């Protein structure tokens, strides 16, 4: 007869708890901690099955038990455990049949969707054998298509096999390209970046999903029954792959609070797979609205180092067992737990900082609340542009190929495939070396030179990175030709304008500058945190947002800054994609002031080229108010010297280029790739071998260096019209400074003299390009930066409102009049803005609900585990705020600093070799205070000063997300929420 084990009762009336898992899981610390607590209750007998029993013995001889803890791990016989459960019918903490689902990620996602759990957008590619060609799967350079659904890079690739933990992330060429592999922790690493890998795997079945930006932090959630979930944050392996460990060698994690919607997700996951104890990965991302997505579900999973969690888990499991097998015994948690295990006492954060000499034991009187910084990109190669008219049939056909065959439409070539097509065409059209034929006209020679320049640019690096090279082909002349085998005629382009833009690559010096600035911020801009900024970020008390324009050098500077700020390691591409958001509408506002800028440049040209400046010796009461203030008095003479010296440099570089041509002609069939431009993104050191060989430092050949200087020479002075173009002065200064720093080993005669002349002129031109007097500067500046100023004001006021609300709730003993006064002051600001909104909305029908602008999802540290003074405090990093009495005007005090950027003093000393840095870098000058010591600006005063020039909140255009958009249903249902969210971002 079959024995049914329905009730509690074993030796001494104890409930038998069978632990049918592999021994390596039983012996791990979390399981030992929880089983030890269950034994301490005195109500249970713990029976460990062991590997021999599980793997070798028949299920009929397995020990009897009332409740069974059984879950899959590598090598575990799940089918045998299932047979045992059917035979003995114990209470299952984790049901066994649903555990089969966990081996197939596609089935996991299907089950999650069935229970309404949000998951990333995904698609499945199934192969019956390796490298099987599938008609529904298409791969391009920057995207894949599966059954017509397109996934643009970055996207994630996971094996369908849930036991395969090697996960790949593929990055777009616009961010430098490459692939990051995530894997189970090995030592102190959990991921590795491969910059040259661009194609997806084809050896088996995979699931592809959109990449979800999480700000560099992942959340692990652990459930014990449907009513309990514990969450911990850790540094995401996506960012740099370095595992943060404590002094005991354990990964550093921080318990965090789950939002109500996340708690429901945890409950649903537990119910969907009928697993009493399980774990899953939660991605907290922000795609126009804060959302959480489940990206993986594990089997039985326990927190590895949290005594409070072990207590909770043991108590909840006890209740499960008693309710199921001994309902007559009270499952109420006893007032004092029957074990003596407790988490070791730790010093408070304030005490630890005091021992390090940072702050005192008592709570500091001032606390940082907000940091806002506007930062320029680091050192870069000079920006270049090549324009030429093309009539070659190969190039015209290429244009039609990429403009959908429309005769009048332009084609934009940016992807690797497109640029490779263009490179193949130029290699056929023009040989590597000059022809040297006397019959060639000047026009033919110049055209061939430009085609060679295009070829040289495209050949750099051996592969393409769309972040720095792009080509436009614009048709400019057409003919009508008969249609093939049809009546009538059609137009065909016979001439087009080719425009190639390249350069502007962040150099190793620029990367170092940005990283140093990030480290400076970490060590100096967050003084009250001591070394705790990284912890502040990981525990969701650091509201960090980094925005960038869409220019490659700016994006990479932002990524390098984030690397230094958060003490990250490795390549910049994963950091860029994970932590930096593009917002060109806010950070590229030049087009808004184009007319005024052109007017200023035209007037500046007249000032420089006229004799008035040179003869102006009359004293002026306010010299900075004069039009063109700062332009040297002898500007016209300096301009002539500038042109002559530029010619000298161009002639010398031409000789170097000709020598390079002669060497190339010897082996013209094999392309020479002198420098890998794409790999330079992650390059920390200069190429000393290249320099020792007498070649230019950086991503240039002598041909391109000559093209750079020749263009500057031609553009500065038009020989035929006898006219200077003063807008070229900053470019010459920039190019001269670049060569002095990076190519000083070439010993170009006159380069130091050219630098001194160009600097004198640039010091007058650059400050006046955007307004030749203070009034015009203010006008142009407000047009360019009005959206950025408006965003800063929103950030500042949101910060004050958060602090005021927290103070009103927690400091009930404070003077209520002071609290209400602060609230009233903040309310007045929003009422003023709302009135402006109402007035505008009568004409443009636009309005915004500012009362709800602060209702955002707030992720925070779990105060039960928080070893900090104020766990609810968050630092908004986007200025410097302090806390004093509520009613005091200095409560929200703004401090402003300014850095002049790179220290170019070695170049100004004449470029002497002994003064130039060996690594071709320039240090960052430390920020200077813009206020006298002891002075301050209140938030209200700052608002009054800047608000007339800032974009009002209701005029903010929708931010163009750099990542995939939310689902259509989410967009339709959340229009009003997105308006609110834009104010907080």
Whether 738 is covered by a domain: the verdict is: yes
pLDDT value at residue 886:
58
In whole angstroms, what is the distance from residue 651 CA to residue 761 CA?
23
Chain CA centroid to CA 407, Å: 39
Tokens at 121, concatenated:
């957008």
Shared domain for 110 and 220, answered yes or no, is yes
Whether 209 is covered by a domain: the verdict is: yes
Shared domain for 164 and 287, answered yes or no, is yes
Q: Max alpha carbon distance in the chain (Å)?
A: 118
Which three-class secondary structure state does DSSP give residue 850? Answer: helix
Report yes or no: 466 and 704 within 8 Å, Cβ to Cβ.
no
Shared domain for 163 and 284, answered yes or no, is yes
Shared domain for 71 and 150, answered yes or no, is no
Whether 795 is covered by a domain: the verdict is: no
pLDDT value at residue 826:
46
Shared domain for 111 and 196, answered yes or no, is yes
pLDDT value at residue 668:
53
Whether 700 is covered by a domain: the verdict is: yes
Supply the CATH number for residue 165's domain: 3.30.470.20
Supply the CATH number for residue 94's domain: 3.40.50.11950
Q: What is the count of structural domains for the chain? A: 4
Shared domain for 281 and 203, answered yes or no, is yes
User: Which helix (H) or strand (E) covers residue 194, if one does?
Assistant: strand 189-194
Q: What's the residue count for the chain?
A: 985
pLDDT value at residue 807:
67
Burial class (CB in 10 A: 0-12, 13-18, 19+), 19: buried
Residue 639 exposure: Cα atoms within 13 Å on the Cβ side = 29
In whole angstroms, what is the distance from residue 232 CA to residue 627 CA?
60
Closest among 383, 426, 448, 434 to 660, alpha carbons compared: 434
Between the CA of residue 413 and those of 199, 394, 499, 819, 983, what are the distances in Å? 20, 15, 10, 59, 36
Pick out the chain residues at pLDDT < 70: 1-12, 287-290, 341-366, 431-440, 461-467, 485-486, 527-542, 611-619, 664-684, 699, 806-883, 885-890, 910-915, 956-985
Pairing status of strand 254-256 against strand 206-210: unpaired
Its domain, for residue 399, covers 380-431+443-506
Shared domain for 251 and 286, answered yes or no, is yes
The residue out of 305, 320, 335 marking a domain boundary is: 320
Shared domain for 170 and 307, answered yes or no, is yes
Report yes or no: 92 and 5 within 8 Å, Cβ to Cβ.
no
Whether 281 is covered by a domain: the verdict is: yes
Computed on alpha carbons and rounded to an integer, the radius of gyration of the chain in Å comes to: 34
In whole angstroms, what is the distance from residue 270 CA to residue 468 CA?
48
* First and final C-alpha spacing in the chain: 69
Cross-sheet strand order for the sheet of 91-92: 44-48, 15-19, 67-69, 91-92
pLDDT per position as a tens digit, 694-738 = 888 876 889 999 999 999 999 999 999 999 999 999 999 999 999
In whole angstroms, what is the distance from residue 666 CA to residue 433 CA?
9
pLDDT per position as a tens digit, 346-384 = 433 332 333 333 322 334 456 777 888 889 999 998 888
In whole angstroms, what is the distance from residue 929 CA to residue 897 CA?
4
Shared domain for 315 and 193, answered yes or no, is yes
The residue out of 775, 806, 831 marking a domain boundary is: 775
Whether 780 is covered by a domain: the verdict is: no
Whether 348 is covered by a domain: the verdict is: no
Report yes or no: 311 and 343 within 8 Å, Cβ to Cβ.
no
The residue out of 749, 775, 801 marking a domain boundary is: 775
pLDDT value at residue 358:
31
Whether 193 is covered by a domain: the verdict is: yes
Report yes or no: 544 and 577 within 8 Å, Cβ to Cβ.
no
Chain CA centroid to CA 67, Å: 48
Shared domain for 163 and 274, answered yes or no, is yes
Report yes or no: 500 and 452 within 8 Å, Cβ to Cβ.
no
DSSP category for residue 919? T
pLDDT value at residue 322:
95
Shared domain for 156 and 238, answered yes or no, is yes
Shared domain for 314 and 277, answered yes or no, is yes
pLDDT per position as a tens digit, 461-480 = 555 555 678 899 999 998 88
In whole angstroms, what is the distance from residue 322 CA to residue 336 CA?
18
Burial class (CB in 10 A: 0-12, 13-18, 19+), 69: buried
């Amino acid at each position: 007869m079959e024995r049914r084990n329905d009730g509690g009762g074993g030796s001494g009336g104890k409930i038998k708890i069978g632990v049918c898992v592999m021994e390596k899981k039983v012996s791990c610390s979390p399981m030992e901690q929880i089983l030890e607590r269950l034994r301490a209750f005195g109500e249970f007998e713990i029976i460990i099955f062991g590997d021999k029993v599980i793997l070798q013995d028949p299920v009929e001889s397995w020990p009897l038990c009332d409740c069974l803890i059984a879950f899959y791990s590598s090598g575990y016989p799940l089918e045998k455990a299932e047979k045992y459960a059917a035979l003995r019918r114990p209470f299952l903490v984790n049901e066994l049949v649903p555990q089969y689902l966990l081996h197939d990620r596609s089935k996991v996602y299907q089950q999650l969707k069935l229970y309404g759990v949000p998951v990333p957008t995904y698609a499945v590619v199934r192969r019956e054998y390796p490298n099987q060609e599938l008609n529904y799967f298409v791969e391009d350079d920057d995207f894949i298509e599966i059954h017509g659904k397109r996934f643009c890079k970055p996207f994630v690739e996971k094996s369908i096999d849930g036991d395969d933990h090697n996960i790949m992330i593929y990055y777009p060429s616009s961010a430098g390209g490459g692939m990051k592999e995530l894997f189970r922790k090995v030592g102190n690493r959990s991921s590795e970046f491969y910059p040259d890998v661009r194609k997806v795997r084809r050896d088996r079945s995979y699931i592809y999903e959109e990449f979800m930006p999480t700000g560099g932090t992942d959340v692990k959630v652990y459930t014990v029954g449907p009513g309990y979930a514990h969450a911990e944050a850790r540094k995401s392996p996506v960012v740099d792959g370095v595992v943060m460990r404590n002094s005991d060698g354990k990964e550093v994690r921080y318990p965090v609070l789950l939002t109500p919607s996340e708690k429901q997700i945890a409950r649903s996951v537990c119910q969907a797979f009928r697993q009493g104890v399980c774990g899953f990965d939660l991605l907290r991302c922000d795609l126009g609205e804060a959302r959480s997505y489940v990206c993986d579900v594990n089997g039985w999973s326990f927190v590895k180092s949290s005594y409070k969690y072990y207590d909770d888990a043991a108590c909840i499991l006890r209740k499960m067992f008693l309710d199921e097998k001994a309902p007559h015994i009270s499952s109420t948690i006893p007032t004092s737990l029957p074990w003596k295990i407790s988490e070791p006492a730790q010093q408070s954060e304030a005490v630890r900082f005091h021992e390090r000499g940072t702050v005192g034991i008592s709570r500091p009187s001032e606390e940082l609340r907000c940091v806002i910084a506007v930062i320029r990109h680091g050192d870069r190669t000079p920006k270049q542009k090549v324009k030429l008219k093309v009539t070659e049939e190969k190039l015209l056909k290429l244009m039609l190929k990429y403009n959908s065959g429309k005769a009048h439409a332009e084609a934009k070539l940016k992807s690797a495939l497109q640029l490779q097509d263009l490179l193949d065409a130029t290699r056929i059209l023009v040989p590597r070396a000059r022809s040297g034929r006397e019959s060639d006209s000047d026009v033919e020679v110049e055209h061939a030179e430009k085609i060679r320049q295009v070829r040289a640019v495209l050949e750099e690096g051996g592969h393409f990175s769309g972040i720095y090279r792009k080509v436009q082909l614009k048709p400019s002349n057409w003919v009508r030709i008969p249609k093939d085998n049809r009546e009538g005629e059609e137009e065909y382009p016979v001439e087009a304008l080719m425009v190639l833009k390249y350069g502007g690559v962040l150099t190793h010096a620029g990367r170092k500058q940005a990283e140093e600035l990030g480290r400076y911020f970490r060590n100096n801009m967050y003084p009250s945190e001591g070394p705790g900024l990284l912890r502040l970020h990981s525990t969701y008390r650091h509201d960090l947002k980094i925005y960038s324009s869409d220019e490659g050098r700016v994006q990479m500077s932002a990524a390098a800054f984030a690397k230094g700020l958060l003490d990250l390691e490795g390549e910049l591409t994963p950091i860029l994609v994970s932590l930096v958001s593009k917002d060109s509408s806010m950070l590229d506002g030049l087009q808004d002031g184009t007319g005024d800028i052109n007017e200023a440049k035209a007037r500046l040209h007249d000032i420089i080229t006229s004799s008035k400046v040179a003869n102006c010796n009359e004293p002026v009461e306010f010299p900075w108010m004069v039009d063109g203030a700062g332009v040297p008095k002898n500007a016209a003479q300096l301009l002539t010297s500038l042109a002559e010296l530029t010619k000298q440099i161009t002639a010398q570089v031409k000789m170097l280029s000709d020598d390079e041509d002669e060497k190339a002609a010897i082996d013209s069939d094999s392309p020479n790739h002198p420098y890998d431009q794409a790999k330079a993104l992650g390059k920390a050191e200069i190429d000393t071998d290249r320099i020792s060989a007498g070649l230019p430092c950086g991503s240039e050949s002598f041909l391109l260096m000559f093209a750079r200087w020749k263009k500057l020479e031609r553009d500065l002075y038009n020989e035929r019209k006898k006219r200077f173009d003063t807008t070229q002065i900053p470019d010459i200064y920039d190019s001269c400074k670049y060569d002095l720093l990076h190519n000083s080993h070439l010993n170009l005669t006159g380069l130091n003299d050219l630098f001194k002349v160009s600097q004198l002129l640039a010091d007058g031109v650059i400050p006046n390009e955007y307004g030749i007097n203070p009034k015009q500067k203010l006008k142009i500046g407000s047009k360019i930066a009005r959206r950025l100023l408006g965003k800063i004001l929103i950030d500042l006021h949101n910060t004050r409102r958060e602090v005021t609300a927290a103070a009103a709730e927690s400091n009930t003993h404070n003077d209520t009049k002071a609290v209400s006064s602060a609230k009233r002051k903040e309310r007045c600001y929003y009422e003023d803005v709302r009135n402006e909104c109402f007035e505008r909305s009568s004409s443009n029908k636009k309005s915004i609900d500012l009362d709800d602008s602060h209702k955002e999802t707030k992720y925070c540290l779990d105060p039960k585990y928080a070893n900090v003074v104020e766990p609810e405090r968050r630092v908004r990093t986007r200025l410097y705020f302090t806390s004093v009495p509520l009613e005091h005007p200095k409560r929200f005090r703004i401090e402003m600093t300014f850095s002049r950027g790179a220290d170019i003093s070695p170049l100004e000393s004449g470029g002497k070799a002994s003064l130039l840095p060996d690594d071709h870098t320039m240090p960052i000058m430390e920020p200077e205070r813009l206020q006298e010591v002891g002075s301050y600006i209140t938030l209200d005063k700052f608002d009054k000063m800047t608000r007339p020039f800032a974009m009002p909140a209701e005029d903010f255009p929708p931010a163009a997300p750099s990542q995939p958009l939310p689902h259509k249903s989410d967009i339709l249902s959340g229009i009003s929420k997105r308006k609110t969210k834009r104010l907080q971002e």
